[in-house]
Amino acid sequence: PRLKEVEFVKSSGKAKDCPRDDRPEFAILGRSNVGKSSLINVLARKKEVALTSKKPGKTQLINHFLVNKSWYLVDLPGYGFAKAPDSARMDWSSFTKGYFLNRETLVAVLLLIDASVPPQKIDLDCANWLGRNNIPMTLVFTKCDKMKGKRTRPDENIKNFQELMRQNYREHPAWIMTSSVTGLGRDELLLHMSQLRNY
Ligand code: GDP
């Protein structure tokens, strides 16, 4: 399977400006540099699916892509920009929270987490917020191939992240290990999304 056709539909400034048909959608979210663009390219088997969120001025918008004319992949603003002033981080939260809390067609959030580094507070905060608000999520661990020169290994980082989450939840969200370098997890993620769409 692949994302055969990925067609940009629109950028929205608010949840209520998003497309109004009832196609199911997945929102893709994570820290900047987590590997979001690389992963989408791997899913699409393309060199470059132009992510609108990478274009200047579009970074703070909700970007809808129609996949295979049947469901949406939604590119949300990244969080935790190292250089963004605190006020920009605040904007992200109120704006994105509005989307999560009001979007009825949202099937699940794909929360991207960099497995090549130990658990980061900002990712845990995000996962905890989604969990507290009963927003369905799948943890998509990225860069699982990355071992060289690292003090910690991806599998240890993933285990530690899950341990930290378990302190808050009895039921752990679905999770998938991926690598855009080796293609690990690609088919699993596509299958996972198609299963969730049909339930
Ligand atoms: P984005 O800002 O989340 O869209 O992240 P990018 O897709 O642009 O990736 C950020 C950096 O991480 C780039 O230097 C990528 O080459 C690297 N990267 C992304 N995915 C992987 C991966 O699966 N493995 C490794 N080793 N590097 C990755």
pLDDT for 115-166, tens place per residue?
999 999 889 988 988 888 899 999 999 999 997 666 779 999 999 999 998 8
What is the chain's mean pLDDT, rounded?
85
**Across residues 180-185, what is the average pLDDT?**
96
Query: Can you give the length of the chain in residues?
Result: 199
Residues in contact with ligand 1 (CB, 6 Å cut-off)? 32-38, 142-143, 145-146, 179-181
Q: What angle do CA 188, 193, 194 make, to 5 degrees?
A: 100
Classify domain 6-198 at the CATH class level: alpha beta
189 CA from centroid of ligand 1 (Å)? 17
pTM, 2 dp: 0.90
Structure tokens at 155: 């599998």
* Extents of the domains making up the chain: 6-198
Run of H or E including 25: strand 25-30
Q: Counting atoms of ligand 1 from 1, which one is nearest the CA of 30?
A: 3
Q: Which protein residue's CA is at the shortest distance from atom 9 of ligand 1?
A: 35
For residue 111, which of 101, 125, 90, 98 has the smallest C-alpha distance? 125
Residue 90 has a pLDDT of: 47
| Among candidate residues 173, 122, 117, 124, the one with its CA nearest the CA of residue 142 | 117
Helix/strand number for the chain, H first, E second: 5, 7
CB contact at 8 A, 109 and 135: yes
**pLDDT at res. 195:** 95
- Rounded to an integer, what distance in angstroms lies between the CA atom of residue 43 and that of residue 35? 12
Which DSSP helix (H) or strand (E) runs through 174?
Answer: strand 174-177
Distance 140 CA to ligand 1 centre (A): 13
82 vs 172 pLDDT, higher one: 172
Mean pLDDT of 83-103: 68
User: In angstroms, what is the span from residue 13 Cα to ligand 1's centroid?
Assistant: 26
Query: Residues 20-32: what's their mean pLDDT?
Result: 93
Phi first, then psi: what are they for 35, rounded to 5°? 110, 25
Q: Which amino acid is at 115?
A: A
Residue to mutate (ligand 1; options 28, 38, 43; most atoms within 8 A of CB): 38
Q: Which of 156, 186, 192 is nearest to 173 (CA)?
A: 192
